[in-house]
Structures are given as structure tokens and as C-alpha cells.
A and B are shown apart, each in its own frame.
Chain A
């Protein structure tokens, strides 16, 4: 798409693009290039000399059981966060869409958690499940269930999934509600006149019509779970116990800054870069398809 009418001259536009290009170069291209470059070297821990090792960092990573475990953790975590927050979001949106009056009120009541930082969401749920003082863990203990997410990996995983999905419901709710409200009421009414029940209509008409938005949300939520949940993990578990909640982006941080293993951290950055690239391409393919619907 291009404008037919435009202004003449090239100095002004170059000047106008310059700030964004400059910032992109200094804080984006140069660091990304550095990440790729560093991934081919093995620095000694004191930073005195570096040795070119080619793809050894990658080879080492892909045979490192901790890294592969982190891969698996990330997959479980991101699928669980996406599915649960999208499921609850869709459920609430479907209910709100049934209302003639009041959908707006519920929208206001449901969307504000979008504004809560993942790290703060982590603190809220940590407080609730704190082993000594948490209300939830108190009642779980009273029921005879031994809650200790600081020691038990599966409980820690459950807690970070819960905290990450909780803050994400509003986003999914909003998109699903917009999608539902865009479906012409006449289609639904026609099906209702033919005697289709609510669930029948939902399964065979509404869901298929929502599939583009569902797919879009799936990609966006996976990207969210991959990167934006860093704060949740850091506040609640710091990747533990025994690395059971160390997702890939957390490992880049802990290997790079905590263990100072710069070559490995850079190689991990490059792998993540490729993953984000793939997800972005998938997302844009989807947008193109949607335009030509």
C-alpha cells in the first residue's frame, strides 16, 4: 500500500527517521549482533581472554540435560498458561456476550488486571501461598495437604502458572468479547429458531467463527509466556526448586548474570531469537490471511 501524493525532498525524511534508526542501532542491532558474535566464543570467567569455539556453545547446549529440561519446562509452562488463561477468558467473554445490559460493567470489572505487572502478580500469589503466613497454604494444610512450593517442583510450577494466567485473563477476555460481538446476531438467532441449544450453537457456529482470533491469541499468549513472565518466576520461585521452573528466558538471565557463563548465555539468546522469529513470521502470515478473508 502506497500513498499517491507525497512531499518532495529527501533531507527532511532522513532526519525524521534518524532518531528511531539511531536508537535501534545502538540498543537493538549492536547488542543483537553482539549476542550472535559472543555465542561463537568461550570467554574465561574473568573476561581476560576469549577463545573462538565456533558452534561448540550450541552443541554443548543441545546436549546439556539442564538446557533440554528448561526447554521442556518452557513448553509445559507456556501451553498451560495459554490454554488456561484463554479458556477462562473465552468462558467469561461468552457469558458477557449473552447479556443485553451489563456487559460493559463486567468488562470494566474484568480488564483492569492487565495493568498489574507480572512481578507484582507474582508477589500477590506468593503472599497467598506463602508457607508460613499464606491464606491458601493455611487452609491447604488444614485440609491435610502438604503445601511447600519452595521444596516441591510440581507445586512451584502450579503456582507460577496460576499467577501468570491470572493476570492474562483480562487480555484474552477483551479479545474474545470483541470477536463475539462482531458475530452477526442474525446467524445465532437463525440457529436458535431451528432449535439449536446454546451449547450446540456455541460449538458449531461461534467457535469456528472465532478460530482466527483464537489462533492469534495462542501465538500472542505463547510469546507472553516465553518472555513477559520473567517477573512472575523471579519473584515466586527464582527458577527453583532444582530448576523446575527455570524457563528459557530465565536461564539466559541466570546463566548470563548470576553464573557469568557468557558464551552459553549468548548462545541461548540466539536460540530464543530464532524462536521469536518463527513465532513472529507465523503471526504475520496469519494477519495476511485475515486481511484477504
Chain B
């Protein structure tokens, strides 16, 4: 940058490469462990290069599930479908209700507007982990245990997305609404034909953040799914590790761990621009 010393240049790269290696190392080992036999794992040290059992282990995990442990024999494919439904349900649900309420707050005056705003604002503060016991009771009373609705809806109650859209709508010039109103455009027409299309980038940014948030949910699905067919992949992997470690089928577990990581990582890498935007803006 400022100086042009060769040694500094290489040291900079060296430092960064060490950082990258530190980040990659555990994931690489997991990948290696997912491609070898059980014998190769239980006789340490683990080799550092992948073995030949890739297809075998992944097919086992995807279609047959872990042979032992609590929650065994549930095909990981089923869990991934559950995770995807939960993640997409949370993402789409949050985006829709937030777009609607942000639209109402910015473009309308209505009774108790400020009180409504503060009520939603407060929900920013409290993660589901804190109110977990009473939330569980609510969901149980509504007969929603072991259902997608029960997995999704309690996690939609958060205000981050509403605030992001509200902030964005504030930056849209008033002339847009004036012109629309002069042309006799109804509010919902304005919302669907103008507001949603110009919010595309923000919607994409939130999509990435919320998808990761939804896919990675752990405690909530752990509590409210007792039916093996409703398990999500992130919560189920812990159950695959029995307390007596010797009996765990590590190649299957590690293949499952890889499968749990791949979808959100693919979303982050393929939508990197939106991810960076969403992350830098949504937490401020």
C-alpha cells in the first residue's frame, strides 16, 4: 500500500494464509473423516488426505442415517428437507411481514402507530433462547409441537427486517409517492409495482442473512421436535454422537456435518455481494 518493501508484502500474504489455514483446518479434517472408513478414524492419528469411501459414506448418511445413537436410522435427506422448509419458511415469512409493516409505518398515519412501532421495536431485544420455556408452552398449547408451523412461526417474531426496510423506505424520494398518487395509484399497487421492485437488493441481502439464521437454528427444533421425521439436520447431528464415544459411527456423523454446512455456505459464497451488504447493514 504505502511502502513497497518486498519482505512486508510476503509477510502480509503469509499472515493471511495462516489465518485461512486456521479457518479451513477443522472443516478439512471433517471432510477427510467423511471419506474414510470407521477403522481409519478409531485408530488415530487421522490421515490428512481424503480416503476412498466418499460415495459410500455420503450415500449411507443421506439415505440410511446413522446406524447407532438417539435419532439413528433417520435418513439425513429427510432432515435436510426439514431444515430447508424451516429456513425458507422463516426467511420468506419474515421478509413478507416486515415489508408489509414497514410499508404501513412509513407511508401511513394511523391510530396507535407509535405504540405499534414501539411494540415491534422491543422484540429486537430478546432472543428466543431467553423466553424458551414459556414459548414452548405456548406452542404446546396450540398443538404445534412436531409441526413446521411450530418450527417456523416463533422465530418470525423479530423486528430486524422491519427496521431495515423502514430505513430503506425512508431514503426513497417523496416524489415517487406524489407521482403515483397523482396518477391515481392505489396504495397496494404502489407497494407491489414500485416499492417491492426497488427493494430487490435489500430483499436479497436479508434473504442470505435470514436463510443462515433459519438453517442454523438449534435449541428451538431440539426442544419441539420429538418425532424423528421432523428433525432438522443441525439439531440431529448432536444426537448421533452417543455418550460412549466408541460406538459412534464417525464417517456417517462427519458426512452429516458436511451436509449440514454445505447449503448455507453455498448461499453465502454464491450471493457474497448481498451477504456482505446484509451483514454490514442489518446489525447496525
Do the two shown chains form a genuine complex with each other?
yes
In Å, the complex CA distance between A118 and B216 comes to 8
Chain B stretch 24-45: residues in CB contact (< 8 A) with chain A:
24, 26-27, 29-30, 33, 41-42, 44-45
Q: Mark A213-241, 1 if CB is under 8 A from B, else 0.
A: 00010001000000110110011000000
Interface residues of A in 155-177 (CB under 8 A from B): 166, 169-171, 174-175
Stretch in A48-56, A60-68, A127-135 with 4+ CB within 8 Å of B:
A127-135
Contact A128 B26 (CB under 8 A): yes
**Contacts A19-B100, A108-B272; is A227 near B138 (CB within 8 Å)?**
no
Asked if A26 meets B19 with Cβ closer than 8 Å, knowing A123-B257, A133-B245, the reply is no
> Do A119 and B181 contact each other (CB < 8 Å), given the known contacts A10-B110, A269-B130, A269-B133?
no
Q: Does residue B54 face the partner (Cβ distance < 8 Å to A)?
A: no
Q: Are B212 and A114 neighbours in the complex by a CB distance under 8 Å?
A: yes
A253–B131 touching, CB < 8 Å = no
Cβ of A79 < 8 Å from any Cβ of B?
no
Q: Mark A239-259, 1 if CB is under 8 A from B, else 0.
A: 000000000010011001100
Given known A5-B177, A10-B110, A115-B212, contact A220–B125 (CB-CB < 8 A): no
Asked if A98 meets B218 with Cβ closer than 8 Å, knowing A13-B104, A127-B254, A280-B125, the reply is no
B23 touching A14, Cβ below 8 Å: no
B109 adjacent to A252 (CB under 8 Å) = no
Are B44 and A35 in touch, CB under 8 angstroms?
no
Closest to A223 in B: B127
Taking CB atoms, residues of chain B closer than 8 Å to A96 are 16
- Chain B 106-122 residues near chain A, CB threshold 8 A: 106-111, 113, 116, 119-120
Interface string of A98-120 (1 = CB under 8 A from B): 11101000111111111111111
Using a Cβ–Cβ cut-off of 8 Å, how many residues does chain B contribute to the interface with A?
A: 102
Bound Cα distance from A5 to B191, whole angstroms: 15
Q: Which of B13, B23, B261 contacts A170 (CB 8 A)?
A: B23
- A216 to B104 Cα, complex, angstroms: 30
Contact yes or no, A28 B126, CB < 8 A: yes
Residues of B within 8 A of A293 (CB): none
- Min Cβ gap B3→A in Å is 7
- The reply to whether the CB of A88 lies closer than 8 angstroms to some CB of chain B is yes
Give B192-248 interface residues, CB cut-off 8 Å to A. 212, 215-216, 218-219, 222-223, 234-235, 237-238, 241, 245-246
CB distance from B58 to the nearest CB of A (A): 16
Asked if residues A98 and B12 are in contact (CB atoms below 8 Å), the reply is: yes
Q: How far is the CA of A220 from the CA of B280 in the complex (A)?
A: 12
List B residues 248-284 near A (Cβ within 8 Å). 250, 253-254, 257, 260-261, 264-265, 267-269, 272, 275-276, 279-280, 283-284
With A9-B108, A123-B253, A135-B29: A252-B133 Cβ-Cβ less than 8 Å: yes
| B12 & A95 in contact (Cβ 8 Å cutoff) | yes
CB distance from A114 to the nearest CB of B (A): 6
The answer to the question of A69 belonging to the interface, with a C-beta cut-off of 8 Å to chain B, is no
- A109 to B275: give the CA distance in the assembly, Å: 14
Complex: how many Å from CA A171 to CA B275?
11
Give the CA-CA distance A34 to B132 in the complex, in Å.
11
| Chain A residues within 8 Å of chain B by Cβ, number | 104
Q: Is the pair A12, B119 in contact by a Cβ cutoff of 8 Å?
A: no
Q: Tell whether B137 is near chain A: CB-to-CB under 8 Å.
A: yes
By the criterion CB–CB under 8 Å, are B257 and A256 in contact?
Answer: no
Q: Is A204 in the interface zone, CB < 8 Å from B?
A: no
Contact A230 B104 (CB under 8 A): no
Task: Evaluate contact between A120 and B107: CB separation under 8 angstroms.
Answer: no
Query: How far is B193's CA from A231's CA once the two chains are assembled, in angstroms?
Result: 42
Contacts A99-B12, A108-B269, A166-B26 known; A31 to B134 CB distance under 8 Å? yes
Asked if A125 and B26 make an inter-chain contact with CB atoms under 8 angstroms apart, the answer reads yes
Inter-chain contacts of B265 with A (CB < 8 A): 112, 115-116
Given contacts A16-B104, A130-B245, contact A231 B129 (CB under 8 A): no
Known contacts A24-B120, A31-B135; is-contact A110 B19 (Cβ 8 Å): yes
The CA of A138 and the CA of B45, in the complex, are separated in Å by 7
- For window 250-284 of chain A, which residues contact chain B by CB distance below 8 Å? 252-253, 256-257, 262, 265-266, 269, 272-273, 276-277, 280
Cα(A216)–Cα(B279), bound, Å: 14
Q: In the bound complex, do residue A21 and residue B45 qualify as a contact, i.e. CB atoms below 8 Å apart?
A: no
Chain A contacts of B119 at CB under 8 A? 21, 24, 29
B216 and A117 contact, CB distance less than 8 A: yes
Mark B residues whose CB is within 8 Å of A: 1-3, 8, 12-13, 15-16, 19-20, 22-24, 26-27, 29-30, 33, 41-42, 44-46, 96-98, 100-101, 103-111, 113, 116, 119-120, 123-127, 129-139, 153-154, 156-157, 162, 170, 174, 177-178, 181, 187-188, 190, 212, 215-216, 218-219, 222-223, 234-235, 237-238, 241, 245-246, 250, 253-254, 257, 260-261, 264-265, 267-269, 272, 275-276, 279-280, 283-284
Sorted from nearest, which 7 A-B pairs have the closest CB atoms? Answer: A117-B216, A34-B134, A13-B108, A31-B134, A115-B264, A16-B104, A13-B104
Between A and B, 12 residue pairs with Cβ closer than 8 Å are A7-B181, A23-B156, A28-B123, A31-B131, A31-B137, A35-B131, A97-B1, A114-B212, A116-B27, A119-B237, A132-B246, A269-B134
